[in-house]
Amino acid sequence: MNAPALLRWTASLTLGLLLIAPESMAQPEGFNYDESKVPDYSLPDPLLAEDGSKVTSADEWRLSRRPEVLRLFEDYVYGKTPIGRPEGMRWEVFESSEGAIGGLARRKQVRIFFSEDDNGPRMDLLLYTPSNAEGPVPTFLGLNFRGNHTVFPDPAIRLPEGGDDSVRGERRGRWPVDTIVSNGYGLATIWYHDIDPDVKDQWSDGVHPLAYAEGQSEPGSGEWGSIGAWAWGLSRALDYLETDDHVDGSRVIVMGHSRLGKTSLWSGAQDERFALVISNDSGCGGAALSRRRFGETVERINTSFPHWFTDRFKRFNGNEDELPVDQHMLISLIAPRPVLVCSAEEDLWADPRGEYLSAKHASPVYELLGTDGMASREMPGLNELISSTIGYHLRPGGHDVTDRDWEVFIEFANRHLGRSNSQ
């Protein structure tokens, strides 16, 4: 191996370890997993405006309180996303086929360039839609952890630069593409690393530099971290999907697991074009309430992953009660669109009960906007899908995305996006 190849190999190995290690975590010691030790806390009221007035109409929510809550999340949690769709953004469909997955699906691969520069940041979107669909279909959009070539053992999926052919399809268990298309849905996915590599303190790569002013080399105080960048990438993917004839751009479902579940919530909160939002095992900084300090805490996440959130989130390390928001307010930003929060029983690090409670406490906003909100006042049992506009599901097992999760995602999407469950 020559020196540059060795360097590349070492870099990809290090990156691989960085990416794998956190995903396969057990329950770290020294954190609270005991419900009786959850401290007393009181949640900020999503309907109580900063000036002390109570929001009592849908218009007041939309025109004044919603922008206020959104700003609080920008200022103190995820950071402000400093740019929208770049002017020079463009795409190129570099591969498409009618007969993918044994004839079940159409496959398309699209390179989305974020600027006019061919060597600037860009992402590759992989899209499967059902071959037998007569018109545009509702489509799941989700970032993947390990590269598009890992989601399905399809030899035509382009390897990312430096990608490893031997792991083709290794994440198939998390992406049951055949089931998804057989149920009448499309699936669009992107390697999250294309948007921003998940590496601490490396603000020179990914999309952050697109927003730098002259001389700037990292996001400013209160600006986006990596979750903000990944969420922005999802919106840019939607810009493309809205133009694709096989996709119904008004029925795109943004879904994500773990850190990418935090991302799907933040993306759905900011970009109201997403018709439905799903977070799977998203935990701290995702669906789980921070004030419960159950499993992963604000301090711990800011220490292990200082680049995920804005710098100001660190002010709340060990100081959750001072946060002007909690995560139920993130869910309330998605209202009145359907949102599904999924947890796994053994994934205590992500605090399943805290995820349920957050969904439940977003309900007043959903109800004010004329929906049924969260129908279940108590946390449901295992495998019992709550399919009100705010949905919740608790699956047996650990931190993962399984066939059962997809069964639930599809059932929930069928109910809320107008497909029948017998299809």
Six token digits for residue 259: 């850190």
Verify binding: residue 83, ligand GTR, rule CB under 6 A.
no
Given 226, 258, 267, 358, the catalytic residue? 258
Phi, psi of 199 (to 5 degrees): -125, 130
Verify binding: residue 296, ligand GTR, rule CB under 6 A.
yes
Q: What is the C-alpha to C-alpha distance for residues 145 and 19, in angstroms, rounded to an integer?
A: 7
Verify binding: residue 284, ligand GTR, rule CB under 6 A.
yes
Least CB distance to ligand GTR at residue 242 (A): 28
Least CB distance to ligand GTR at residue 246 (A): 30
Verify binding: residue 283, ligand GTR, rule CB under 6 A.
yes
**Parallel, antiparallel, or unpaired: how do β-strands 276-280 and 339-344 relate?**
parallel
* Nearer residue to ligand GTR within complex by CB, 163 or 283: 283
* Nearer residue to ligand GTR within complex by CB, 109 or 327: 327
Pick from 129, 258, 263, 389 the residue near ligand GTR by CB under 6 A: 258
Least CB distance to ligand GTR at residue 27 (A): 11
What's the Cα-to-Cα distance from 332 to each of 310, 352, 368, 387, rounded to whole Å?
A: 21, 18, 11, 17
Choices 17-25, 227-235, 236-244, 371-379 (CB under 6 A): range interacting with ligand GTR: 17-25
Residues that bind ligand GTR (rule: CB under 6 A) add up to a total of 10
Least CB distance to ligand GTR at residue 298 (A): 11
Given 149, 246, 361, 399, the catalytic residue? 399
Choices 20-28, 124-132, 172-180, 215-223 (CB under 6 A): range interacting with ligand GTR: 20-28
Phi, psi of 327 (to 5 degrees): -75, -15
- ω into 352 cis (within 30 of 0): no
Pick from 10, 11, 23, 382 the residue near ligand GTR by CB under 6 A: 23
Least CB distance to ligand GTR at residue 334 (A): 19
Instruction: Tell me, yes or no, if 42 is annotated catalytic.
Output: no
Least CB distance to ligand GTR at residue 399 (A): 7
Least CB distance to ligand GTR at residue 116 (A): 33
Verify binding: residue 364, ligand GTR, rule CB under 6 A.
no
Verify binding: residue 259, ligand GTR, rule CB under 6 A.
yes
Instruction: Tell me, yes or no, if 193 is annotated catalytic.
Output: no
Q: What is the 3-state secondary structure (H, E, C) of the chain?
A: CCHHHHHHHHHHHHHHHHHHHHHCCCCCCCCCCCHHHCCCCCCCCCCECCCCCECCCHHHHHHHHHHHHHHHHHHHHHCECCCCCCCCCEEEEEEEEEEECCCCEEEEEEEEECCCCCCCCEEEEEEEEECCCCCCEEEEEEEECCCHHHCCCCCCCCCCCCCCHHHCCCCHHHCCHHHHHHCCCEEEEEEHHHHCCCCCCCCCCCCHHHHCCCCCCCCCCCECCHHHHHHHHHHHHHHHHCCCCCEEEEEEEEEEECHHHHHHHHHHHHCCCCCEEEEECCCCCCCCCHHHCCCCCHHHHHHHCCCCCCHHHHHHCCCHHHCCCCHHHHHHCCCCCCEEEEEECCCHHHCHHHHHHHHHHCHHHHHHCCCCCCCCCCCCCCCCCECCCEEEEEECCCCCCCHHHHHHHHHHHHHHCCCCCCC
Pick from 5, 25, 156, 382 the residue near ligand GTR by CB under 6 A: 25
Amino acid at 273: R
* Nearer residue to ligand GTR within complex by CB, 297 or 389: 297
Least CB distance to ligand GTR at residue 122 (A): 24
Verify binding: residue 342, ligand GTR, rule CB under 6 A.
no
Q: Pattern 98-117, binding to ligand GTR, x per CB under 6 A?
A: --------------------
Choices 9-17, 19-27, 202-210, 376-384 (CB under 6 A): range interacting with ligand GTR: 19-27
Choices 18-26, 45-53, 124-132, 247-255 (CB under 6 A): range interacting with ligand GTR: 18-26
Pick from 301, 331, 341, 348 the residue near ligand GTR by CB under 6 A: 301
Catalytic positions are 258, 399
Residues that bind ligand GTR (CB under 6 A): 22-23, 25, 258-259, 283-284, 296, 301, 304
